[in-house]
Structure 1
Amino acid sequence: MRLQNPIRIERSLGDTEASYFLPSRESGVNDMYLHLGFSAQPQTIRRDRVANAWAILRLKHPLLACNIEMHDYDDIRFVLMPYTSPESVLHSANENIFYRQGTKEELIDSYLNGPRTLSAQRLSCIFLSQESDRSHSRRTHPDGPVQSTQGEDWFNYDLLLCTTHFIGDGMALHQCANDFFTLLSSNRSTEELHDILKEQWQIRYGSQFSELSLPRSLEERLPQSSGRFQRAVSIVDFDLSQGRLLGGHSFSRRKGNDRRTIVPTVAFDEDHTRKALKLCKSHNVSISSALFAICNIAWARTRNDNPDLPVMMYSALNLRPFLTPDELNDSYWFIAISYFNVILPGFLPASDVEKTFWHRARFAKEQSTRAAKHRMLISRSREMAKERGVRARRWAKEDDEKASGTRIPSPPVTATVMERPPSTALIGLSLLGNLDGIYKHTSFPQIKLHTLTTGSRQRSGAMLLFGYTFVGKLWVSLGYDENGFEKGLVEQFWKNVLTSMEELLL
């Protein structure tokens, strides 16, 4: 069973995809990772089972297996060379699976701070690691020691699912990990998994081959505006909304040091998590809204140089519910996010901190809800994508000209520029919600997940706070460049985040 005369499949990157691809070229800025710690029996994660499961996913979700070709700043393309046989799918999957020894910290550190793993020719891969000393990695199930019918012990393993950001977002990462573990943990034999691979190959490259396509871009799937007047209104509305972004607080940065990203992570036990969820519900807010207020309080306790100016924070907005269906592709691997901002007061009263906290959590919820339900959401998302694409192309061109020595500095601007209020963001928050709604733990009984960490390779001086619930626990982590900020500043802020959570939320 082989495909004759394979056809090259390609499409251009949309503005959002280009805005993530162009900065990634040199050192992998924004390359994502999802770490999952789990326990399993060795037979469950044998190389041939892992390869077949990964191959099935790469076949179903073609952006995972694409290459990138860049012909110009305005001509960047995904390229897929169709697999000639199921065996070629399996071979490609195996080339993008790496087994390692070591701890999760070593695995994550190598990915974040070592040489770039991904490239224009490798948009995804997975790492699997087991602690080298099996005697220390055995797991005991809460109901007692877990053994297979063959009497095999369970051991601790770490999975790193790595992809570039321009092929997807956090929701795609988590759904993909759930599907991977479901395949791996199924009762099907490895041979039966390979039969699924053959069936999926036949569906895509058999009789329906003429309809094979790559997932459409975000901009193609956003509902289209109609008429010049509506488009003009969209531009004016976007400019006005951007002009209302006020923020006068930021972390003092240090330049000239090599970037080193660390991700301190804390998981609160199930009792504290239930208390926090119950407390948030009683105040009519979510954990996500509360975390905006926590960061606001923590920053005021860390440094409050400009109490008269507001604190601005940003977060990602999931656009998947608003997209038109992709009739030729049912893959969930594509990027579908925009951004919104939450602006809170910069001062902290000397008394009634608890009352202030819940008030600001409700204010954060109000702003988040307004952003997600605004009647101009689609047009604002489209204009933001366009602006990000233009900016990324301009900066990429400037960087390339500097690197080649052909950059000609722009002449100085002599016109009088009206001074605008500051619009600096303090920090970004990635608020993933309840991930136990995505991970169907009962669907993979041969695998017990217990730890989750996520993030990306960063620019120098970058920072992003993550908040989510997983396996019944509330998790918070802070990914930041420890060499990019004033010494001790971020560490004090992180300490204040945790103590503020214990005081006000837990």
Structure 2
Amino acid sequence: MHCSSQPDSTWKLERSLGSSESSYYLPSRANGVNDMYLHLGFIAPEHVVRRARVRMVWAILRIRHPLLASKVVMHDYDDIRFVFTPPQSPEEALVDADCNLEYKASTKDDLIDSYLNGTRTLSNERLSYLLMSPGGTSLPTPPLTPSSTFESTSDEREYPSYNHDLMICATHFLGDGMALHQFANDFFGLLGSNKTISDLEAQLKEELCSRWGRDSTTTAALPNALEDNFHVDQNRLRRAVEKVDFQLSQQALVGGHAFRRQAKQPRHTIVPTVSYDPERTKEILKKCKARGVSVSAALFAVCNIAWAKMCSEKQDLPMMMYSALNLRPYFTVKPANDSYWFLAVGYFNVILPTFIPRSIDISSVFWHRARAAKEQSTRAAKNRMIVSRSLLMAEERGQRARLWAKEDDERERGTFVPPPPPAMVTDTAPRAPSAALIGLSLLGNLDGIYKHGAFPPIKLHTLTTGSRQRSGGMLLFGYTFAGKLWISLGYDVNGFEKVMVDQFWENVLHTTDELLLK
């Protein structure tokens, strides 16, 4: 298939970051706060993970999802842009993919630790990156030249299989967990297909031509920012009602508990992880179903009971946890691009009592709170104001991020002047505390996303995900993958009182064993 080169070799696509994207981008500039990673451990023959094949698949997907291959240019705090320059040829697409792909002989734990705690991997010029740690004997890869790039390296003979590790890295302002997992499934779908290098070459040429060829210059577009995926009613009365609703919903967030912080030390994130074998996972799922709740709702209750068991003060105040909400189902504007790589998350909170009644069986308390978590989660997702609340929260977070970024830059230049103290306000009712104890990233059944049967040579067996944190960051992950329930706690080990976090994590595991398994 012949595809004409672009009429203008400097052709670029740009769009401004929305408020939600900016709220993630600006804090990430210094040290990569919120840069995401997804680790997948898998078994496959060596020829499947040869660099020539991996970079071909990586190139196809970067063509399909242009934000992965974009750069970010910041002109001002409210003028930050994605800039995508389409490759002029398949060879150029492969060079770009190869520059953002690294083969590294490391263990899973070393890969994750280096990404979370070492020098930042990503940057304004590199918004995504692949790390592959292949097992077995390393195989030669043909040099990246036009004459050998598309040379077939496929061999139909039977190969022994080895364990390999893959890390997919991407900035959080580029997308979210849903994008990351859908991408991983598509990546393995191509990598583990029966397509030869020549087949993949033909697909790369075709997709480059159809998406970014000469005929596409007037219709090509980058995926929308979150805010542009909704029809917004400009009626002033409605806007005023939405703002009042948003303020009232924020005032209803009451939480009086937080982990004690400790003296500032360099941030160091660790991710203790446990998995439950398929049989025990089936028992947990069966028990949750019988009680009318999901595992996600049960994990809110697990954290609640784990904290309540060790909490000796402020038991009259509730415990608040937050979690993310996928906003894709609420879109009312047709996407400008068929890519799923974009940011589309809102947030909701679950508030539960802290005390444990002595007169009631602990199991009854647990399942009652799991049902309460389910009701609050459902109420948040089905609230008729969910879109306006999410957009106003994104706007507020964006404004806050711009103010803090400007202050950080001025402090670094030595030009910061503190603002005057706010005027005293009298007769104001004291506000209830609104501290969140912990965030929960509840990904659900990931085996619904990963079509394991679509890539027969590859057997996925391990999944770990998270992000680079700010000092004092903490997030609990819960998901089902490869038939197993996984629970992990990513936190800054130097940011909290160690005994307290250790006790909480021990209580989480004990509560899961005691109330979800027995």
Q: TM-score range by the shorter chain?
A: over 0.9
Given the alignment of the two structures, is residue 187 of structure 1 paired with residue 198 of structure 2, yes or no? no
1:453 matched residue in structure 2:
464
1:240 matched residue in structure 2:
248
> Aligned runs of 1:420-459 on 2, under 5 Å?
420-459=431-470
Looking at structure 2, the residues matched to 422 and 60 of structure 1 have their Cα atoms a distance apart, in angstroms, of 46
CA change 1:404–1:294 in 2 (3 A) is same
1:355 Cα deviation from its structure 2 partner: 0.2
* Cα contact 1:267–1:475 (8 A) shared by 2: yes
| TM-score relative to the length of structure 2 | 0.93
Given the alignment of the two structures, is residue 58 of structure 1 paired with residue 67 of structure 2, yes or no? no
Looking at structure 2, the residues matched to 480 and 132 of structure 1 have their Cα atoms a distance apart, in angstroms, of 33
1:254 matched residue in structure 2:
262
Query: Among residues 312, 320, 341, which one is paired with 1:312 in the alignment?
Result: 320
> Aligned runs of 1:324-343 on 2, under 5 Å?
324-343=332-351
2:388 partner amino acid: S
* Cα contact 2:224–2:335 (8 A) shared by 1: no
1:167 matched residue in structure 2:
174
SS in structure 1 of the partner of residue 103 of structure 2: strand
* Cα contact 1:468–1:475 (8 A) shared by 2: yes
* Cα contact 1:103–1:130 (8 A) shared by 2: no
1:220 matched residue in structure 2:
228
SS in structure 2 of the partner of residue 211 of structure 1: coil
SS in structure 2 of the partner of residue 33 of structure 1: strand
1:152 Cα deviation from its structure 2 partner: 1.8
1:223 Cα deviation from its structure 2 partner: 2.9
Looking at structure 1, the residues matched to 488 and 212 of structure 2 have their Cα atoms a distance apart, in angstroms, of 43
SS in structure 2 of the partner of residue 503 of structure 1: helix
1:149 Cα deviation from its structure 2 partner: 5.9
SS in structure 2 of the partner of residue 101 of structure 1: coil
1:92 matched residue in structure 2:
96
Looking at structure 2, the residues matched to 192 and 102 of structure 1 have their Cα atoms a distance apart, in angstroms, of 31
2:149 matched residue in structure 1:
none
* Cα contact 1:70–1:77 (8 A) shared by 2: yes
Please give the per-residue CA displacement for 1:74-98, whole angstroms capped at 9, x wherever unaligned: 1000001121111111110010000
1:150 matched residue in structure 2:
157
Looking at structure 1, the residues matched to 298 and 231 of structure 2 have their Cα atoms a distance apart, in angstroms, of 32
1:118 matched residue in structure 2:
122
Looking at structure 2, the residues matched to 223 and 174 of structure 1 have their Cα atoms a distance apart, in angstroms, of 28
2:44 partner amino acid: A
Please give the per-residue CA displacement for 1:172-223, whole angstroms capped at 9, x wherever unaligned: 0000000000000111101110110000011022222321110011000023
Identity %: 59
Point out where structure 2 has 5 or more consecutive residues left out of the alignment. 139-154
1:434 partner amino acid: N
Looking at structure 2, the residues matched to 325 and 444 of structure 1 have their Cα atoms a distance apart, in angstroms, of 34
* Cα contact 1:250–1:426 (8 A) shared by 2: yes
Looking at structure 1, the residues matched to 240 and 97 of structure 2 have their Cα atoms a distance apart, in angstroms, of 47
Looking at structure 2, the residues matched to 131 and 314 of structure 1 have their Cα atoms a distance apart, in angstroms, of 39
Given the alignment of the two structures, is residue 8 of structure 1 paired with residue 12 of structure 2, yes or no? yes
Looking at structure 1, the residues matched to 225 and 449 of structure 2 have their Cα atoms a distance apart, in angstroms, of 23
Looking at structure 2, the residues matched to 46 and 223 of structure 1 have their Cα atoms a distance apart, in angstroms, of 46
SS in structure 1 of the partner of residue 498 of structure 2: coil
* Cα contact 1:9–1:80 (8 A) shared by 2: yes
1:325 Cα deviation from its structure 2 partner: 4.3
Given the alignment of the two structures, is residue 358 of structure 1 paired with residue 367 of structure 2, yes or no? yes
* Cα contact 2:231–2:333 (8 A) shared by 1: no
* Cα contact 2:49–2:134 (8 A) shared by 1: no
* Cα contact 1:304–1:347 (8 A) shared by 2: no
Given the alignment of the two structures, is residue 20 of structure 1 paired with residue 24 of structure 2, yes or no? yes
1:115 partner amino acid: T
Given the alignment of the two structures, is residue 479 of structure 1 paired with residue 493 of structure 2, yes or no? no
1:462 partner amino acid: G
Query: Among residues 266, 271, 277, which one is paired with 2:274 in the alignment?
Result: 266
2:383 matched residue in structure 1:
374
Looking at structure 1, the residues matched to 98 and 484 of structure 2 have their Cα atoms a distance apart, in angstroms, of 34
2:398 matched residue in structure 1:
389
* Cα contact 2:136–2:162 (8 A) shared by 1: no
2:148 matched residue in structure 1:
none
Query: Among residues 479, 490, 493, which one is paired with 2:501 in the alignment?
Result: 490
1:327 Cα deviation from its structure 2 partner: 4.5
Please give the per-residue CA displacement for 1:226-270, whole angstroms capped at 9, x wherever unaligned: 311111100000000000000000000113200000001111011
Please give the per-residue CA displacement for 1:338-371, whole angstroms capped at 9, x wherever unaligned: 0000000011123411000000000000000000
1:489 Cα deviation from its structure 2 partner: 1.2
* Cα RMSD (Å): 1.3
* Cα contact 1:427–1:464 (8 A) shared by 2: yes
Looking at structure 1, the residues matched to 241 and 58 of structure 2 have their Cα atoms a distance apart, in angstroms, of 46
Looking at structure 2, the residues matched to 195 and 209 of structure 1 have their Cα atoms a distance apart, in angstroms, of 22
Looking at structure 2, the residues matched to 185 and 4 of structure 1 have their Cα atoms a distance apart, in angstroms, of 36
SS in structure 2 of the partner of residue 505 of structure 1: helix
1:302 Cα deviation from its structure 2 partner: 2.4
Q: How many residues align?
A: 493
Query: Among residues 406, 413, 425, which one is paired with 1:416 in the alignment?
Result: 425
SS in structure 1 of the partner of residue 296 of structure 2: helix
Looking at structure 2, the residues matched to 222 and 496 of structure 1 have their Cα atoms a distance apart, in angstroms, of 42
Please give the per-residue CA displacement for 1:274-318, whole angstroms capped at 9, x wherever unaligned: 111111111110000000000000011223321100000000010
Looking at structure 2, the residues matched to 221 and 108 of structure 1 have their Cα atoms a distance apart, in angstroms, of 34
